[in-house]
Every structure is written in structure tokens, then in C-alpha cells.
Amino acid sequence: MNDIDEQLSEIIPRLRRFAVSLTRNPSSADDLVQSCLERALSSWSDKRPEGDLRAWLFSILYRQFLDAHRRSRRYARMLEFFTGRDDTQPSAERTVIAQSTLQAFDQLSTEQRALLLWVSVEGLSYKEVAEILDVPTGTVMSRLSRARQALRQLSDGEITRPSLRRLK
């Protein structure tokens, strides 16, 4: 196994986890990871040598997901046109009190899930996230703040009340 493959193999479990959090489906997540690795290996020379490998791979995978998602949304809209309904998205009115942080997390938007995973779980710097999303660092921080608040509201009830009570 060469050096590059070794570095990649270390990150693959993290890529798979990220892909699951985006697709919510383990098998399409692995398809996504596979095409991400293919892209990474064939455009290895585009990677900046000093850049963080993990952040670079996350950014490839995220873009591929968004592209695929856009395509499937178009497809879903077409289906909707023919069948008169849209089965692919949960009803907007459906409000679920999350039983766990994970359920709350799953209800966030794609970008909010990605942001929280990158920053809170993977510990990427704001600057790395700004580069992935191609937005200024300040924008990352305000979006992160909204994502945190959304997660807070969704998971309010179960987890936080005891700790808040304790603080009072």
C-alpha cells in the first residue's frame, strides 16, 4: 500500500460517516464515497500540498452530493409532474419532537448537517470550512450559529432541560 492510499484509508471511515449524514442511506453513502475517492485519485495534482487532506476530501464529497441531489430533485419534480405528488420529501407541516440529538440533527438542512459535522464532530477550523463552502469566514460563523440554534430548538425537551434546570 502506498503512502497516498494509506492516508486515504485512514480517512475513509470519516468520509463514510459524512456521506451517511448527507444521504441518510448507507448504501448510497458508499456510492458517494466511492465517486469521491475516484475524483480525488484522478485529480490528486489539484490538491494543495499544504492543505488538509480531510478538508479537501470533504469538499469533493459535498459538491458531488449537492450535484447528485440537484439532479434527483429535478427528477423528483418531474415525477411529481407526472404523478401529481411528491413522495420524496417529508411533509413540511410534520413537526417532530426529536427524541435524541441524532434525530434532531437529521432534521436539519443539508448545509447545517455538514457544518455541524465539520466543526463540532470533525473539528475543522472555520477557515477550512469557509474554503470548502467558498464563502467568507464570517458567513460560516453566522450559518453555524443558526445551525446550532436550530439543533437546540429541535432537540429541546429531552436533553437540555435537566442541565438548564441544574444551572438555575
**Contact present, 151 and 108 (Cβ < 8 Å):** yes
CA distance 49 to 56: 11
Angle at 55 between CA 60 and CA 110, to 5 degrees: 60
Q: What is the total count of residues that contact other proteins (CB under 8 A)?
A: 48
Cβ-Cβ contacts under 8 Å for 63 (sequence gap 6 or more): none
According to CB under 8 A, which residues from 123 to 162 bind other proteins?
123, 125-126, 138, 141-142, 144-145, 148, 151-152, 155, 159-160
Q: Using CB under 8 A, which of 112, 119, 131, 132 touches other proteins?
A: 119
Residue number with CB closer to other proteins (107 or 120) = 120
- 110: cell is 443539508
Residue 100 C-beta: closest distance to other proteins, Å: 7
**Amino acid identity of 5?**
D
**Contact present, 2 and 44 (Cβ < 8 Å):** no
Q: Could you list the residues that contact other proteins (CB under 8 A)?
A: 1-2, 4-5, 8-9, 12-14, 16-17, 20-21, 26, 30, 33-34, 37-38, 41-42, 100-102, 105, 116-117, 119-121, 123, 125-126, 138, 141-142, 144-145, 148, 151-152, 155, 159-160, 163-164, 167-168
